Amino acid sequence: MYKKILVPLDISKTDETILAHIRPLARFTGASLVLVHVSDGFAARLQGQLNLADSPEVCQDRAALDAAAGKLQEEGFNAHCHLLTGDPVEGILGLVAEEKCDLIAMATHGHNNIADWFFGSVSDGLRHRTSIPILMIRAR
């Protein structure tokens, strides 16, 4: 069924919601997991890919992403990760194509319409622009 599942993480407590939900599915289907985080803070927006390794913000993101992938690998999953900068929707869609993923699985914050309009919504942008299935789990 699913061979490669892309899991966008926002490096917060909501990540465990989707990771807990996706583990049984990945085990059942034998899918590999591609974790991705798109750094979009001050340093990432200003620096882009240049000198990114020097930013404390990006170093923290990388460490959290590597830890999540490492934990999944210890549990026996085929998992690897990518740290991107720029527009989250564009980055995720590009990675879906590059990695040939057949499912996007993500936690959503469940904002109301006003908050989505104000903050933007990665999940909304993805669902309008991808042709592969998206599994969305509302974070607690």
CA–CA dist 120, 31 (Å, integer): 30
Indicate the pTM of the whole model: 0.87
Q: Where are the domains of the chain?
A: 4-138
Looking at 3.40.50.720, 3.40.50.10210, 3.40.50.620, 3.40.50.2020, the CATH number of the domain 4-138 comes to 3.40.50.620
* Sign of CA pseudo-dihedral 80, 84, 89, 95: negative
Find residue 34's DSSP bridge partners: 6, 80
- pLDDT (tens digit, 9 = 90+) per residue, 5-63? 999 999 999 899 999 999 999 999 999 999 999 987 666 666 555 555 567 888 899 99
